[in-house]
Structure 1
């Protein structure tokens, strides 16, 4: 195998990245690597980690920066906390530029970090608590969820639990294991309360936040993902949160899929079908969840109106 084939082999599995050690393994000298960087053909992304196609001088992708951070810290490095959750696709945490990396004690003490966004944690992980996602080591979803909910307030913690459950990264039975992983750790008392509030039927953090506002406002929905059918069994629509006796549905309108013209058209048609079936349909956005009172007040008013109809 030639030098170029060797470099392509490493870069093809690492979002276009190679480490200095891998470049040397492929047959390049230290001088060759330095020349590739100084000529602009390669781009330094993290300590001794290079992007091999530097023709695009734009911002390095988040995925590339995360992988580079782990590569730069050696074979014992793994993603932890928020960044591990991000890698697994677990939603509910605020966006952050930080990259959380864990290293065992001795390796953490001698590690050198070049990216100011990298937050290094001295952590030991027992066997079976780390896996590889697209070649990037990270704590397994179960441990990631346990670690995260100890560090964040109630709303993002329950959002993380709901997201992991909804995507089947963890199961309802796993929540007991999460509880065991919390034992004796700072924040465990609050985190155990979050476990009792988790519901994997929530399909987005916005749905979770809307539900929690209703719970706090003493108008909890009696069902999530309420399927409404006509007399022939035809599905008219599915409501995010439902109060069946009052025939009230609350929809959580998040950004993304609901913003496209096709989605807006489909949402309107679905709402018309639900209204035609005798349901009151309420729609809430992220900003609505920032107030503790608005959503429960609106739901309570809709329920009261339904009782006098």
Structure 2
């Protein structure tokens, strides 16, 4: 190694990690971190999230790895997490880099004090191809004493879809009342000349305005999403004004949700005062408490 370094053929990246200067491209920070902790380290947490494509997870200031609890490696510039359990099912590979699986990564990042960020990561992971059942299985196995992981297990349980939807309707009711909107009818069947279009979440009958909320993406199958799109088109063709909101809109932007519905109602002739819109709307606690 010394001879290669003296010949300017290699350069030290970290203690014990060298790179040929002739190697193409830039050094891979994640690979370097794993090699610095070799042979026991697995890329994990925010670093693993970036490799899996969980883009809402901020890029970490330092690469993160997980090693067995008994490992003594402490490489500088690397955030080392220690785990008593890192079975083979929780490890995947990204190219040549060992990395925690998508399910394990979501569990490692789960935070009981930040439930909405946790829900969003679960939603994103399943959109990337993770199985809801797999996430539930791994979270159930890893939940002991960890509130955030318990939240993942509960949110991915078979019955969780109805729990979340019921809670989302309660939140929407709070949002509409806080904004001074008329109380809508809830869960109303709507028909056209072909028969039943579907049951809508909130219906302001005098103005033919409908408010629809979309829950966590993984609570809907591909077929359900297709049916929802067809239902939306039929409602539009039947002359209804539909406002559709994702769960993140309701949770993070409730005032904007209320303002959008108010504009639709006013356009349909409702006598509403935009000045009544509050600047802040307090929401009930998250649904899985």
TM over 0.5: yes
Match of 1:81 among 45, 49, 55: 45
Gaps of 5+ in 1: 1-29, 200-211, 221-241, 251-272
CA RMSD of aligned residues (A): 4.4
Rounded to whole Å, the distance in 1 between the matches of 2:174 and 2:138 is: 28
- Deviation track 1:219-265 (CA, whole Å, cap 9, x = no partner) reads 89xxxxxxxxxxxxxxxxxxxxx979636689xxxxxxxxxxxxxxx
| Alpha-carbon distance change, 131 to 280 in structure 1, aligned in 2, over 3 angstroms | same
- The aligned counterpart of 2:14 is 46
Gaps of 5+ in 2: 162-166, 176-199, 204-208, 214-232, 271-289
Q: Is the 8 A contact 2:10 2:20 kept in 1?
A: yes
Match of 2:4 among 26, 29, 33: 33
Match of 1:301 among 249, 262, 270: 262
- The aligned counterpart of 2:141 is 181
SS in 2 for 1:164: helix
Q: Is the 8 A contact 1:78 1:138 kept in 2?
A: yes
- Deviation track 1:55-94 (CA, whole Å, cap 9, x = no partner) reads 99x9x56xx1111000111121101222222211123323
Match of 1:127 among 75, 88, 93: 88
Q: Is the 8 A contact 1:45 1:65 kept in 2?
A: no
Match of 1:95 among 55, 59, 80: 59
Q: Is the 8 A contact 1:82 1:93 kept in 2?
A: yes
| Alpha-carbon distance change, 303 to 146 in structure 1, aligned in 2, over 3 angstroms | farther
Please report the TM-score for the alignment, with normalisation by the length of structure 1: 0.53
Rounded to whole Å, the distance in 2 between the matches of 1:302 and 1:193 is: 37
Q: Is the 8 A contact 1:150 1:191 kept in 2?
A: no
Deviation at 1:144, TM superposition (A): 1.7
Q: Is the 8 A contact 1:42 1:50 kept in 2?
A: yes
Matches within 5 A, 1:246-257: 246=209
| Alpha-carbon distance change, 180 to 42 in structure 1, aligned in 2, over 3 angstroms | same
Deviation at 1:153, TM superposition (A): 1.2
- The aligned counterpart of 2:97 is 136
Rounded to whole Å, the distance in 1 between the matches of 2:256 and 2:74 is: 48
Deviation at 1:293, TM superposition (A): 3.5
- The aligned counterpart of 2:186 is none
Matches within 5 A, 1:155-304: 155-169=116-130, 171-187=131-147, 188-192=149-153, 194-195=155-156, 216-218=171-173, 246=209, 292-302=253-263, 304=265
Rounded to whole Å, the distance in 2 between the matches of 1:152 and 1:79 is: 24
| Alpha-carbon distance change, 190 to 127 in structure 1, aligned in 2, over 3 angstroms | closer
Deviation at 1:289, TM superposition (A): 8.8
| Alpha-carbon distance change, 215 to 191 in structure 1, aligned in 2, over 3 angstroms | farther
Aligned residues: 214
| Alpha-carbon distance change, 173 to 194 in structure 1, aligned in 2, over 3 angstroms | closer
| Alpha-carbon distance change, 194 to 44 in structure 1, aligned in 2, over 3 angstroms | farther
